[in-house]
Amino acid sequence: MSEERQIQLEVLRYNPETDSQPRYQTYTVPCVNEWVVLDALNYVKENLDPTLSYRWSCHMAVCGSCGYMINGEPKLGCKAFIHEYGDHIRVEPLANFPIERDLVTVVEDFIAKLASVKPYLIPKEDKPISAGEFKQTPAELKKFKQYTLCINCMLCYAACPQYGLVPEFLGPAAISMAHRYNQDSRDGGRDQRQEVIATDEGVWECSFVGACSEVCPKHVDPAGALQQVKVASTIDWYKEHLMPWVKK
């Protein structure tokens, strides 16, 4: 049987309807080492304090819902194992986002930025269904497959110092998602996306700290994607201004 131990779970609480400012509340939670932090939060919700608010869904690191600051680091609650921590664990809402309530953050800014880069396939040509699928070679798929793994957990935004300083910054997830479709051999929407991402508020705001890639639970490497976008955008500029006879 698994060994049970008690931890002190310190959780940031904030109800804008009743609280003037956030506060911390500590719960004593009996748990086993196989638990993750999300299990501890669920124990609190079910046994100690039903008023605690937080997001979660799949418990499998797929949905991206349970992103929190755990001991100051952006992590998924369902991947943060209790045995990796001591007997005191602090859980806070993701940094750089307004707090809606307790561990729940306001995500409308992220959703709007994600939508602005047109994160969907824009076919190069109209093709009736009867003509069959848009075929792609394994090599063409490999070019962008890594960037399809993003689960929109927003941990990269919580880790990004530029997003914290410049809220207008599109941010790593949105730009890397645009890069994913720009690299897709079936897509023809690159020019539309470049108008959004190749701007001062887009990729050029990135200072390449690399924190986004360090915290990504799916190893998408958004920092690498942003640097590739910078290179491609620079080549676009040279072609447009110094070699106008060269087609993109």
Q: What is the pLDDT of residues 191-235, one digit of tens each?
A: 999 999 999 999 999 999 999 999 999 999 999 999 999 999 999
Question: Who's near 166: CB < 8 A, 6+ residues apart?
Answer: 201, 205
pLDDT at 132: 87
pLDDT of residue 170: 98
| pLDDT at residue number 27 | 98
Residue whose C-alpha is closest to residue 59's, from 84, 76, 34:
76
pLDDT at 2: 62
pLDDT number for residue 247: 64
137 within 8 A of 130, measured Cβ to Cβ: no
- Report pLDDT for 241: 77
Reported pTM: 0.93
Biggest distance spanned by C-alpha atoms of the chain = 72
Grouped pLDDT means (10 residues each) for the chain, 248 residues = 84 94 97 95 98 97 97 98 96 98 98 97 88 92 96 98 96 98 96 96 95 97 97 90 72
38: phi then psi, degrees, rounded to nearest 5: -60, -35
Domains of the chain (ranges plus CATH)? 4-105 (3.10.20.30), 108-241 (1.10.1060.10)
How high is the pLDDT of residue 240?
78
**CA-closest candidate to residue 143, choices 228, 231, 235:** 228
What per-residue confidence (pLDDT) applies to 248? 55
Residue pair 178/119 in contact (Cβ under 8 Å)? The answer is yes
Structure tokens given for 28: 């004593």
Per residue in 165-192, pLDDT (tens digit) is: 999 999 999 999 999 999 999 999 999 9
pLDDT given for residue 201 in this prediction: 96
